[in-house]
Structure 1
Amino acid sequence: MDTSVGSANPDSPRLKRSIGFYGLMFVSLGSIIGSGWLLGALNAATVAGPASILSWALTAVIMMTLALIHAELGAAYPVAGGTARFPRIAFGALAGFAGGWVAWLQAVALAPIEVEASLQYLDNIGWIKEHLNLLHPGNNTLTLSGFAWATVLMAVFTFVNLVGVKMLAESNSATVLWKVAVPVLTIVVLLYLRFHPGNFTAGGGFAPAGAHGVFAALPVGVVFALQGFEQAVQVGGEARNPQRDLSRAILTAMVIGTIVYLLLQVAFIGALDPGSVAGGWSNPIEKGAFGPYATLAIVAGAAWLAYVLYVDAFVSPAGTGLLYLGTSARLSYALGKDKQLPEALGKLSIRGVPMWSILLSFVVGEIAFLPFPSWQSLVSVVTLATAIMYAFAPVSLIALRRRDPDRPRPYRTPAAHVLAPAGFVAANLVIYWSGFDTTWKIMVAIVAGVLLFAITYLRRRPADRPEVAWRSAVWIPPWLLGNLLIGYLGRYGASGEIGVLPEWVDLAVVIGFNLAIFYWAITQAQPAHKVHDAVEAERVELQV
């Protein structure tokens, strides 16, 4: 039986439905456990102290809520680049582009960022630093040699993706087994050899920065580390049995990732030198060339573990880069296929992969290797873009339940009418906690994307232009600008905010404003017949 899908023309190349449950689960888990684990615990502890454990728990609740929502959408509408397609089906072309654009921005940026992180870690090995000279001293930007090696890595990722999604899934699965084993091994060793219970009340008590610290830790690396469950949704159009496997894969990956990160934070805090945190948490440990865990392993007398971590410092970022090059290509494929970007991006090769979208991700990656800030400084920006992407899913879920009620839903989000608005609010709280100084940058990027959408739209013949559906997208500008204003008046971020809103009152304002936007947005969804037409346009790709 032919299990491939694609465009409305049955004779054209189709996406190959060849990924099973474990492949889907490893795609999500490989994105969740990436380079973020190497510094996530340190960044969170620096901001929140021992209460950083609560930061991880809160993030896990937020992400699990959003994962439950994505699980239903992915199983009901198993298409490539799902996070761009769900709002497109529910709210029309403009809303779909807005959701897809921010999703593509964060995904396409992560592959080159992770490659550069891998090279930064490699450059700390003496003989590599001496013979390859990958980075300029001082600013850690790539030398000509470093650019060449980064290009080689990106070329390898591109080749794997061009060969086909089956090779992508299989190569990723082997990498993920390593990526999960190393953090688990680190947890066991540190808990056994070096654990100081007193650290959990040192340096000002369990929560030296109060609730503010718990919330502020989320955008400095906690959300960044736990994001990625939606990657299985992005390759949903290539899942062998999406109705059965997508929801299970997403939720399984989320549970495993949550347990690993919570235990990593506990092990990290317990393994610190009590003297280094007695006076506060501003500098609990030097992160070291390969992250703080390598330093802790050496102090604990497990130097062998440090060498394992040296290898992982390259493997984890590289494995994540491989995945995000592929998923960013699925997002631009979705935008091209739905005529929101040039149609060439929505074309498939004879191997059933979005060749031009993959090559675009490679080209953007090469541009990103220019002397831009390191991946650590981009964590908050990527986190914010991800939160905006996630926020489109809850409104799409309720809108599609109302407008497309007869659609088979193999998995149904429990208490969706509670979890959907809660998930929307949670995503917007992450936006608020990211701070005004980060939010305005993403808003500029969204405006640039809308201009690109307008240029693409106007260059098409009138008969080929997608219906913009202005009315269905009318809620998006007030939503984004309202959150930008609240961020400016709020209490989070390095600069730009003025602190007008008192503590806790600011959270109430965020919650109240975004609940109003949520319920307004679902009333603006496309009429049922237009939703039906949008689903019908994906009929061939939805076939399983």
Structure 2
Amino acid sequence: MTQLASPAAPGQTHALKRSVGFWGLTFVSLGSIIGSGWLLGALTAAGIAGGGGSLVSWVLAAIMLMVLALIHADLGAAYPVAGGTSRYPHYAFGGFAGFTAGWTTYLQAVAIAPLEVEASLSYVNSIGSVSKTFPLVNSDGTLTLQGIVIGLLAMVLFCFINLGGAKWLSDSNTGIVLWKLFVPVLTIVTLLLIDFHPGNFTANGGFAPFGFHGIFAALPAGVVFALQGFEQATQMAGESVNPQKHVARAIILAMVIGAIVYIGLEIAFVGALNPGQLLKNGWAHPIGAGDYGPYYTLAIQSGVAWLAVILIIDAIISPGGTGLIYVGTTARISYALGLPDALTKVSRRGVPVWSIIVATIFGMLFLAPAPSWQQLVSVITGATAIMYAFAPIALGALLKNDPERQRPYRVPAPKVMLPLGFCFANLIIYWGGFAATWKLVLGLLIGQIIFVIASAARAKNVDASHARWQFAAWFWPWQIGLVVLGWVGNYGDGALKLLPDDWDAVIVAVFALVIYFVATSLGQSRERAEASVSEDLSDEEMAGLRSPAGFA
């Protein structure tokens, strides 16, 4: 069984409409990158890695994610389908691997919209009058009752906008993203000009007071989370008017802009800290314990009240815009998974209505019991890294088994970049810690159980052999290996810290390389890969993909 229900199921009255242009795709990815991460990521990184170390963390994360972005750009241009991150492994390894990748993608994506809402409310709560008279966040970072109610209303608004259609989503997102880009740049320039202390980068223990361990630990604690989201253009590639030309360019441009902005923000944040307060409190609380509005606090301390006002407004718009996008793209993922059949049906506007509604409901469930922003980020980052890890192995297998595919963009030096990208994704998972890794693996197991049950229920109508279990034989050795490495490793609660510090990254990378070469050698045959692609793309689109001109 290639999937439980094809998005292009025969007899379907309506289909996804190709109505999103280049800038629409770019802003979907850029809007996903610039969200709550810019409001809270710099503070978290500095607290874990120190002043100079946090800057190294952002540069390292930008390099790692750029490699993965280039790989996604190759796949997105060659296979322009909705929910691309789940479909690429499907083409390479069959239905079981595809569903597992899609389930991973869904788990991380469905939690991001409510997380962004929680971040927005946490930031607004940093205003003294709000926290005293109408608190939105408890002292432990969880939402109060009124915070939950406001969060639920925000999720309903996201749902309503997404039901308007992909073009409505991209058009409404354009203005939001322009604002989201303007405010961080304004913050960087203002703090650099008004209140900048270069000595902060070597304060309290030197440039990197916590060594490589701190630099690496900061990545899954908010840095990678902030920079993720470039893949959203691939999730909506099935609605792009010219996916061959636009998807790759949109991904790369969004990633470059996002990386520059975030590195600039970390420089401005560390430089704007009060040296006396930093010396007193250390990197654990560089602006004060329990403060969830770092740039707002710095603006007030620097006497820039007008910037503080803009930051509070942006604390609503930036996370809200990202949450809006993720409700829509989460729906595309469940559309691609096709579980159940109703999720593949689209309205006259060309949107998967029930997929959007289900994504909204699941997102609402995350609001009430959700822990703090910082606690959720590491788990979501781990799930994202697993999702990203599927891309290089899928492309590696497809380059062998689908060689004649028209590829408008080709990742440079694929023999180096693909295994390197897979290693990067595995390192991010490992640095996230043992506690996060075993929980993620348990979540994947639950998804696979759902797949098996659904496959058994539909066995009379679907050839179960199409699940192609044998092509995913590498998956559980990979996941079990990650859990074991996390257990004997040096990061997170429950880790035994048996591996040599710093050299543990080399051990994880070697393990990842072994899995990469085993997995890419087990891909489907050329005939099966082409058959899988043809399920999602019409004959006209297939012809376009084989021609140099692509879609008109």
TM range (shorter): over 0.9
Contact 2:213 2:502 in 1 (8 A): no
Gaps of 5+ in 1: none
Give matches, 1:336-415, under 5 Å. 336=338, 341-415=339-413
In 2, distance between residues paired with 1:216 and 1:361? 31
What letter matches 2:243 in structure 1? P
In 2, distance between residues paired with 1:358 and 1:392? 24
Deviations 1:389-425 (A, max 9, x none): 0000001111111100001000000101100000000
In 2, distance between residues paired with 1:241 and 1:137? 47
Q: Residue in 1 aligned with 2:298? A: 296
Contact 1:29 1:254 in 2 (8 A): yes
Q: Residue in 1 aligned with 2:24? A: 23
Contact 1:288 1:294 in 2 (8 A): no
Q: 1:491 to 1:141 in 2, by over 3 A?
A: closer
Tell me if 1:172 matches 2:173.
Answer: yes
Tell me if 1:507 matches 2:509.
Answer: no
Contact 2:430 2:482 in 1 (8 A): yes
In 2, distance between residues paired with 1:116 and 1:46? 21
In 2, distance between residues paired with 1:287 and 1:241? 49
In 2, distance between residues paired with 1:465 and 1:151? 41
In 2, distance between residues paired with 1:327 and 1:375? 21
Give matches, 1:390-469, under 5 Å. 390-465=388-463, 467-469=466-468
Give matches, 1:153-164, under 5 Å. 153-164=154-165
Alpha-carbon deviation of 1:465?
A: 4.8
Give matches, 1:82-97, under 5 Å. 82-97=84-99
Quick check: 441-450 or 369-378, which moved more? Answer: 369-378
Contact 1:80 1:236 in 2 (8 A): yes
Q: 1:504 to 1:123 in 2, by over 3 A?
A: closer
Q: Residue in 2 aligned with 1:35? A: 36
Q: 1:31 to 1:136 in 2, by over 3 A?
A: closer
Q: 1:465 to 1:159 in 2, by over 3 A?
A: farther
Backbone CA RMSD of aligned residues: 1.9
Alpha-carbon deviation of 1:120?
A: 3.4
Gaps of 5+ in 2: 1-5, 543-550
Q: Residue in 1 aligned with 2:3? A: none
Q: Residue in 2 aligned with 1:203? A: 204
In 1, distance between residues paired with 2:103 and 2:499? 31
Q: 1:157 to 1:474 in 2, by over 3 A?
A: same
SS of 1:524 mapped into structure 2: coil
SS of 1:233 mapped into structure 2: helix
The count of corresponding residues between Structure 1 and Structure 2 is 534
Quick check: 55-64 or 280-289, which moved more? Answer: 280-289
In 2, distance between residues paired with 1:480 and 1:93? 18
Contact 1:428 1:514 in 2 (8 A): yes
Q: Residue in 2 aligned with 1:14? A: 15
Deviations 1:430-483 (A, max 9, x none): 011001011111111111111111121111142225511111000000001101
Tell me if 1:44 matches 2:45.
Answer: yes
What letter matches 2:259 in structure 1? T
Contact 1:8 1:539 in 2 (8 A): no
What letter matches 2:175 in structure 1? A
What letter matches 2:474 in structure 1? W
Q: Residue in 1 aligned with 2:308? A: 306
Q: Residue in 2 aligned with 1:525? A: 523
Contact 2:85 2:235 in 1 (8 A): yes
Give matches, 1:91-130, under 5 Å. 91-125=93-127
In 1, distance between residues paired with 2:170 and 2:8? 23
In 2, distance between residues paired with 1:126 and 1:210? 36
Q: Residue in 2 aligned with 1:491? A: 490
Alpha-carbon deviation of 1:10?
A: 7.6
Q: 1:124 to 1:53 in 2, by over 3 A?
A: closer
In 2, distance between residues paired with 1:347 and 1:366? 22
SS of 1:499 mapped into structure 2: coil
SS of 2:16 mapped into structure 1: strand
Alpha-carbon deviation of 1:146?
A: 3.8
Contact 1:479 1:517 in 2 (8 A): yes
What letter matches 1:407 in structure 2? R
Contact 1:286 1:292 in 2 (8 A): no
Quick check: 251-260 or 271-280, which moved more? Answer: 271-280
Contact 1:119 1:134 in 2 (8 A): no
SS of 2:461 mapped into structure 1: helix
SS of 1:195 mapped into structure 2: coil
- Between the aligned residues of both structures, percent identity stands at 54
Q: Residue in 1 aligned with 2:546? A: none
